[in-house]
Amino acid sequence: MALAYRLVFWLCLVALGWGDGDAALLLQKLRDMDVLHHWRAGLERIDWRSGDPDPGQALHQKTSTHCSAFVASAGERLGIYILRPPQHKASFLASAQQDWLNSDEGRQAGWERLADAQAARDHANQGQFVVASWRNPVANKPGHIAIVIPSDWSDERLEREGCEIMQAGRSNYLSASLRQGFSNHPGAFENREIQFHAHATDF
């Protein structure tokens, strides 16, 4: 039943051309990146655009994660700039991306700060590129960033779990709750420390 309901929801998005962008097309573009098989944790050096091991670099099995590289690559594929290599090194990029999103440069590039998870869901449902980010307050400790995807989740579910996201990280998800995706950063979700930013798309 749930699957059938969601199918109807996405067919409605396609039929209505909901919002300023195309939410169904946005979701398909993001799914086509195949985050479950790219930007995987454990490899220290990857090509940030493809999420594959960088053949020009030696591989080191560590706990490295690539949330910010995945977001940067998604932005590039959508024609939207967010801070990325080589303007910033790959390490600690997620926290730097949040700083950039809140800067004059980020605002001039078209990014808008959103109030909460409900606004994030609504902007994603309008076909906008929306990110959820958490800046680690501890120097030299990684933050986290994920993509908010178009969703039929209710306001009540958002209050319990946060919006629906896609991410790379310790675990890569095509679909997860904000609470689940940011669970490796205790307090980030519970203390409402996660920020949301949106950028219009041109399709």
Could you read off the pLDDT of 147-191 as tens digits, one per residue?
A: 999 999 999 999 999 999 999 999 999 999 999 999 999 999 999
How many angstroms separate the CA atoms of 176 and 171, rounded? 10
- Over range 87-92, report the average pLDDT: 90
How many other β-carbons are positioned within 10 Å of the β-carbon of residue 203? 10
Report if pTM > 0.85.
yes
Phi, psi of 111 (to 5 degrees): -85, 140
Note if the bond before 86 is cis, omega within 30 degrees: yes
Residue 14 pLDDT greater than 50, yes or no:
no
First to last CA, the chain: 31
pLDDT of 60: 47
pLDDT band at 5 (very low <50, low <70, confident <90, very high): very low
**Domain total for the chain?**
1
CA–chain centroid gap for 123, Å, is 13
Q: Which of 167, 165, 174 is nearest to 120 (CA)?
A: 165
Joined tokens for residue 69:
């590289």
Q: Which of 56, 67, 188 is nearest to 135 (CA)?
A: 188
Residue with tokens 């680690």: 136
User: Would you give the DSSP letter of residue 165?
Assistant: E
Joined tokens for residue 76:
């590039």
pLDDT of 127: 98
Count of helix runs (H) and strand runs (E) in the chain:
8, 6
**What is the span of the domain harbouring residue 78?**
2-199
CATH number at residue 63: 3.90.1720.10
Could you read off the pLDDT of 21-60 as tens digits, one per residue?
A: 799 999 999 999 999 999 999 887 899 999 998 877 655 4
Could you read off the pLDDT of 107-146 as tens digits, one per residue?
A: 999 999 999 999 999 999 999 999 999 999 998 899 999 9
Residue 105 pLDDT greater than 70, yes or no:
yes
- Over range 67-90, report the average pLDDT: 96
